[in-house]
Structure 1
Amino acid sequence: MSKQETNNTTILITGGAGFIGSNLCEYFLGKGYQVVCLDNFATGHRCNLKAFENNANFRLIEGDIRNHKDCEAAVLDVDYVLHQAALGSVPRSIKDPVTTNDVNVTGFINMLVAARDAKVKRFIYAASSSTYGDSQGLPKVEEVIGKPLSPYAITKYVNELYAEIFSKSYGMETIGLRYFNVFGRKQDPNGAYAAVIPKFVMQLMQMQSPVINGDGNYSRDFTYIDNVIQMNELAMLTENPLAINTVFNTAYGDRNTLNDLVNYLKGSLSKYRPEIANVAIEYGPNRAGDIPHSLASIDKAKELLGYHPQYSLQEGLEEAVAWYWENLR
């Protein structure tokens, strides 16, 4: 696609001030697209938009997906929607299932209806590996899921059901991307519901002992942000009819234990400050709603989208740690 063609394409990124959303904004602006960001700054940050807030191709709408009129305003003259807005975190959903449902389900339907009425070309949305629930099989294959283990997981599964119904009932093109433990630059290390990697990075930089939930042998398919950006772009641009109106695992396709993760982080950070290698690790109880092991099959994405992830956990951590060291010390 040429620069001239991309300049005529407008993408709405909901939750565009968040970790994943702001990285998507930056990437697509860099490729010459018109980008609209919708965010209410409940969990997103204005500083994530600072680098491109004066870009002529960028427009910020401060609004809430729970407000249908905000959704209607955001999709006006938009070609594609990359729907990232949600309330994440399993523990938060257990503590406050009502708000999680309002944002993740009601907000999702509002966006679907607005996108349908505005006749957007395609609606790509952030799904979640939590949808696999109590399914025991590894690797996780898109067509085999279990029962959800948290209110958050329920909301993300409901998103997939609504997307499928909107595709069948209204002819919408939808693609769901089941994210697996995404990490990278701009991910917030602060707050009660901070993700494990930025939280551990921040603690290690401050010479504090990270606390691992359980014995550290739970494993995850940690997925660097650039792999996620690649999947969003492939989902947006694919012309393969078999890739539309379905869901894809968005992951690297490998798993590492939490103990492995901390050791990799200590190794990366000790290049900047050697004594970090000696910080002790503490262990606490397992976290409610957590699944023991997570590993994605990415065969479907490879076959139908031509997906080839560029960053393993260790390669992504090197880049992420460099960003945190530069920006958050």
Structure 2
Amino acid sequence: MRRILLTGGAGCLGSNLAERFIDAGDAVYVLDNFATGQRASLPDEHDRLTVREGSVSDRWTVDDVFTEFEPTHVVHSAAAYKNPDDWATDDAVNVGGTINVVRAAEAAGVRRLLNFHTALGYGRPEQVPIAVSAPARPFTSYGISKQAGENYLAMSKLPWVSLRLANVTGPRLAIGPIPTFYTRLKAGKSCFCSRTVRDFVDMEDFFAVVDLALADEAPTGRFNVSTGTGHSIREIFDIVVQHLGLPKQDVPEVDAGPDDVEKVVLDPSETIAAFGWRPRYSFADTIRRMLAWYDTHGVTTIYSHVRRPEGHGEATR
């Protein structure tokens, strides 16, 4: 039985993985400070699940968790991102917290450490799709701090994998244009679209690459997780309008803000070659599966790691 420490395990990715690991027979220990994650996203009680409130930025807490749980694997999903001006918290969690987890994992001799990184680590790319070998040029607090955390991980003696993620779409997604458009259009509120292009990967395809990356003999290093195709934010808006049965409508479009990037599309070719992984779900299917989940479960709090353009209030994205 694997013993998996899941940092940030109450967030969207973490909570979905916690359920998946428990169903697979693993013992799971979730460490989360609930700054953006929700305790209600995790099972109430399970004999193979332990939940602890605390931050990876606290080295004593991290060391105590490793001593108590003795993990065989670590999935590092914890991240600070909700306030682009709070550099200190981003640094404490995304840099210092990653160092704490890496050092504790080294001391414990874990079999595998899987880290989640953001595509914003590439900054404004010279070309798209972005190869995993492209230079890292982040320019936001979130991107800079996440990139620094990955850089420290790469200096470790651990068997590690860092997945540079496109927009993973699935249960409990609480960031970005999909939940924003869904909630605002359903409430009869106005929206706008940024003139940006993103790539979206279904949660089930994300699960598949995580399973492969956690295998003992799997390749190590940095890998992009994406379908490799980009889609405009306006395309998402149109799918949401259609899903809600609303008449086709015009929507204001604005340029990307100063802390945003016009086009972010990752090239997954090296991931496909290394793991034999290939995404199965199309863009339209991915978005519609997400909207169907909202129909049943609703949307809770929505977060963003970019500032709202001036003059557009809450009608974000």
What is the TM-score when the length of structure 1 is the normalising length?
0.86
Q: Check if 1:260 corresponds to 2:253.
A: no
Q: Per the alignment, in what secondary structure is the counterpart of residue 302 of structure 1? A: helix
Match of 1:223 in 2: 201
Q: Per the alignment, in what secondary structure is the counterpart of residue 6 of structure 2? A: strand
Match of 1:174 in 2: 160
Task: Judge conservation of contact 2:98–2:153 (CA < 8 Å) in 1.
Answer: no
Match of 2:64 in 1: 73
2:90 equivalent among 54, 77, 100: 100
Match of 1:209 in 2: 190
Residue segments in structure 1 that go unaligned for 5+ positions in a row: 1-7, 189-193
Q: Per the alignment, in what secondary structure is the counterpart of residue 88 of structure 2? A: helix
Task: Judge conservation of contact 2:118–2:165 (CA < 8 Å) in 1.
Answer: yes
Offset at residue 285 of structure 1 (A): 5.0
Tell me which protein shows more helix as a share of its residues. Answer: 1
Residues in 2 aligned to 1:146 and 1:113: alpha-carbon distance in whole angstroms? 24
Please tell me the root mean square deviation across aligned C-alpha atoms, in Å. 1.7
Offset at residue 22 of structure 1 (A): 0.3
Match of 1:309 in 2: 279
1:110 equivalent among 85, 94, 100: 100
Task: Judge conservation of contact 1:209–1:280 (CA < 8 Å) in 2.
Answer: no
Residues in 2 aligned to 1:106 and 1:28: alpha-carbon distance in whole angstroms? 27
Residues in 1 aligned to 2:198 and 2:30: alpha-carbon distance in whole angstroms? 30
Q: Tell me which moved more, 231-240 or 30-39.
A: 231-240
Match of 2:44 in 1: 53
Offset at residue 222 of structure 1 (A): 1.4
Offset at residue 200 of structure 1 (A): 1.3
Q: Per the alignment, in what secondary structure is the counterpart of residue 172 of structure 1? A: coil
Match of 2:170 in 1: 184
Offset at residue 312 of structure 1 (A): 2.1
Q: Per the alignment, in what secondary structure is the counterpart of residue 316 of structure 1? A: helix
Offset at residue 286 of structure 1 (A): 2.7
2:267 equivalent among 284, 292, 297: 297
Residues in 2 aligned to 1:255 and 1:162: alpha-carbon distance in whole angstroms? 30
Offset at residue 84 of structure 1 (A): 0.3
Residues in 1 aligned to 2:162 and 2:92: alpha-carbon distance in whole angstroms? 19
Identity %: 27
Residue segments in structure 2 that go unaligned for 5+ positions in a row: 300-317
Q: Deviations over 1:199-222 (max 9, x none)?
A: 111112222222223xx3x21111
Q: Check if 1:36 corresponds to 2:26.
A: no
Counterpart of 2:227 in structure 1: which amino acid?
Y
Counterpart of 1:65 in structure 2: which amino acid?
V
Residues in 2 aligned to 1:127 and 1:279: alpha-carbon distance in whole angstroms? 36
Offset at residue 284 of structure 1 (A): 4.1
Q: Per the alignment, in what secondary structure is the counterpart of residue 213 of structure 2? A: helix
Match of 1:232 in 2: 210
Task: Judge conservation of contact 1:29–1:58 (CA < 8 Å) in 2.
Answer: yes
Aligned residue-pair number: 297
- Map 1:125-144 → 2, pairs under 5 A: 125-144=115-134
Task: Judge conservation of contact 1:227–1:252 (CA < 8 Å) in 2.
Answer: no
Task: Judge conservation of contact 2:177–2:233 (CA < 8 Å) in 1.
Answer: no
Residues in 1 aligned to 2:254 and 2:75: alpha-carbon distance in whole angstroms? 37
Task: Judge conservation of contact 1:17–1:46 (CA < 8 Å) in 2.
Answer: yes
Residues in 2 aligned to 1:71 and 1:172: alpha-carbon distance in whole angstroms? 17
Offset at residue 53 of structure 1 (A): 2.6
Task: Judge conservation of contact 2:238–2:248 (CA < 8 Å) in 1.
Answer: no
> Do the aligned partners of residues 114 and 54 (structure 1) sit closer, same or farther apart at CA in structure 2, a change above 3 Å counting?
same
Residues in 2 aligned to 1:15 and 1:29: alpha-carbon distance in whole angstroms? 16
Q: Deviations over 1:132-181 (max 9, x none)?
A: 11221111111112421212111121122111111xxxx21111000112
Task: Judge conservation of contact 2:7–2:30 (CA < 8 Å) in 1.
Answer: yes
Residues in 1 aligned to 2:81 and 2:212: alpha-carbon distance in whole angstroms? 24
2:247 equivalent among 248, 266, 277: 277
Residues in 2 aligned to 1:195 and 1:259: alpha-carbon distance in whole angstroms? 13
Match of 1:15 in 2: 8
Match of 2:310 in 1: none
Q: Deviations over 1:296-324 (max 9, x none)?
A: 11111111112111222211112111110
What is the TM-score when the length of structure 2 is the normalising length?
0.89
Task: Judge conservation of contact 1:201–1:265 (CA < 8 Å) in 2.
Answer: yes
Q: Check if 1:287 corresponds to 2:257.
A: yes
